[in-house]
Amino acid sequence: MVNTGGEKVYPAEVEETIRQIEGVEDCVVLGLPDERFGQIAAALVACSDGASLEEPDVTSALRRATAGYKVPRVVRFVGTVPRGANGKIDYQAAENMAAGHP
């Protein structure tokens, strides 16, 4: 769960909505530290082969489908969402990618 400015954002709910966007292959939503809100929601989005999406495509689709406070403030496009050998999300790697660290 991401607690942003006192509002609770459930990543699985936001991920489900992002995955419904045409051209999205995979995604992960997580919290990043923020001085003002405590945390902000961030999304890593992997597009399907040949798909071309930009941040406004994701955020506008989310704004139509969910409350504004649930829309990630950071959307980064990645080749693949980082996963371990067992297929589970590698949250440390995902957090680094979302924060803009290699």
Q: What is the pTM of this model?
A: 0.93
Predicted confidence at residue 100, as pLDDT, reads 86
Predicted confidence band at 23 (pLDDT cuts at 50, 70, 90)?
very high
- 34: amino acid identity, one letter: D
Predicted confidence band at 102 (pLDDT cuts at 50, 70, 90)?
low
Domain boundaries, the chain: 2-98
Residue pointed to by tokens 């980082």: 82
CATH architecture of 2-98: 2-Layer Sandwich (3.30)
74 C-beta neighbours (distance < 10 Å), count: 16
pLDDT by residue (tens digit) across 28-76? 999 999 999 999 999 999 999 989 999 999 999 999 999 999 999 999 9
DSSP conformation class of 9:
E
Predicted confidence band at 97 (pLDDT cuts at 50, 70, 90)?
very high
